[in-house]
Amino acid sequence: MSQEKVIIFDTTLRDGEQSAGIGLTTKEKLEIAQQLERLGVDVIEAGFAASSPGDLEAVQSIAETVRTPIIASLARCYLPDVDAAWEGVKNAARPRIHVFISSSDNHIMNLLRKNPEEVMDAAVASVERAKSYCEDVEFSPMDATRTDPDYLFKMLEAVIDAGANTVNIADTVGYTIPSEFSERIEDIKKNVPNIDKAVMSVHCHNDLGLSVANSLAAVRSGVRQVEGCINGLGERAGNASLEEIIMAIETRNDLFDVSTNIDTTQIYRTSRLVSDITGFPVQPNKAIVGANAFRHASGIHQDGVIKDRSTYEIIDPKSVGWPSNSIVLGKLSGRAGLRARLEELGYNLDQEELNEVFEAFKNLADRKREVTDQDLESLMSTRRRTIDVPTIYKLSHVQVSTGDHEVPTATVKIISPEGDEIIDAATGTGPVDAVYRAINRVIGVENRLTEFRVDAVTEGIDALGDVTIRIERNSDVFVGRGSDTDIIVASAKAYMNALNRALSVDSSQNK
Q: What is the DSSP string of 21-74?
A: T----HHHHHHHHHHHHHHT-SEEEEE-GGG-HHHHHHHHHHHHH--SSEEEEE
Summarize the confidence of residues 297-323 as an average pLDDT. 78
What is the pLDDT, as a whole number, of residue 97?
Answer: 98
What is the pLDDT, as a whole number, of residue 365?
Answer: 83
Summarize the confidence of residues 329-341 as an average pLDDT. 83
Query: Residue 389: which pLDDT band, with cuts at 50, 70 and 90?
Result: confident
What is the pLDDT, as a whole number, of residue 476?
Answer: 86
Q: How far is CA 211 from CA 57, 206, 481, in A?
A: 31, 5, 30
Q: Is residue 477 over pLDDT 90?
A: no
Q: Which amino acid, 206?
A: N
Q: Is residue 90 over pLDDT 70?
A: yes
b/e per residue 225-250 (b: at least 16 CB within 10 A): bbbbbbbbbbbeebbbbbbbbbbbbb
What is the pLDDT, as a whole number, of residue 507?
Answer: 64
Q: Is residue 50 over pLDDT 80?
A: yes
- Please spell the DSSP secondary structure of 288-338, one letter per residue: TTSTTTT---SHHHHHHHHH-GGGT-SS-GGGGT-----S-B-TT--HHHH
Higher pLDDT, 188 or 479: 188
CATH class in words for 391-509: alpha beta
Alpha-carbon dihedral angle through residues 262, 264, 268, 272, given to the nearest 10 degrees = -10
Beta strand 465-473 with 448-456 is antiparallel
Q: Which amino acid, 123?
A: A
What is the pLDDT, as a whole number, of residue 170?
Answer: 98
What is the pLDDT, as a whole number, of residue 81?
Answer: 98
What is the pLDDT, as a whole number, of residue 385?
Answer: 67
66 φ, ψ (degrees, to nearest 5)? -95, 115
Q: What percent of the chain has pLDDT over 70?
A: 95
Higher pLDDT, 260 or 385: 260
What is the pLDDT, as a whole number, of residue 328?
Answer: 61
Q: Is residue 302 over pLDDT 80?
A: no
Q: Rounded distance, CA 46 to CA 75, Å?
A: 12
Q: Which residues pair with 60 in a beta bridge?
A: none
Tens digits of residue pLDDT in 17-42: 999 888 888 999 999 999 999 999 99
Tens digits of residue pLDDT in 450-463: 999 998 776 666 77
Burial class (CB in 10 A: 0-12, 13-18, 19+), 501: buried
Q: Which helix (H) or strand (E) holds 443?
A: helix 431-443
Summarize the confidence of residues 394-417 as an average pLDDT. 94
What is the pLDDT, as a whole number, of residue 326?
Answer: 46
What is the pLDDT, as a whole number, of residue 461?
Answer: 67
b/e per residue 138-168 (b: at least 16 CB within 10 A): bbbbbbbbbbeeebbbebbbbbbebbbbbbb
| Residues across the chain | 511
Tens digits of residue pLDDT in 140-181: 999 999 999 999 999 999 999 999 999 999 999 999 999 999
Q: Is residue 410 within 8 Å of 441, Cβ to Cβ?
A: no
Q: What percent of the chain has pLDDT over 90?
A: 70
Three-class secondary structure of residue 282 per DSSP: coil
Q: Which residues pair with 376 in a beta bridge?
A: none
CATH class in words for 4-278: alpha beta
Q: Which residue pairs from 153-159 have beta carbons closer than 8 angstroms and sit at least 24 positions apart in sequence?
A: 153/187, 153/188, 153/191, 153/192, 154/120, 155/103, 155/119, 155/120, 155/123, 156/188, 156/192, 156/195, 157/192, 157/193, 157/194, 158/120, 158/123, 158/124, 159/123, 159/124, 159/127
Residues 6 or more apart in contact with residue 381 via CB below 8 angstroms = 276, 481, 483
Residues 6 or more apart in contact with residue 461 via CB below 8 angstroms = none
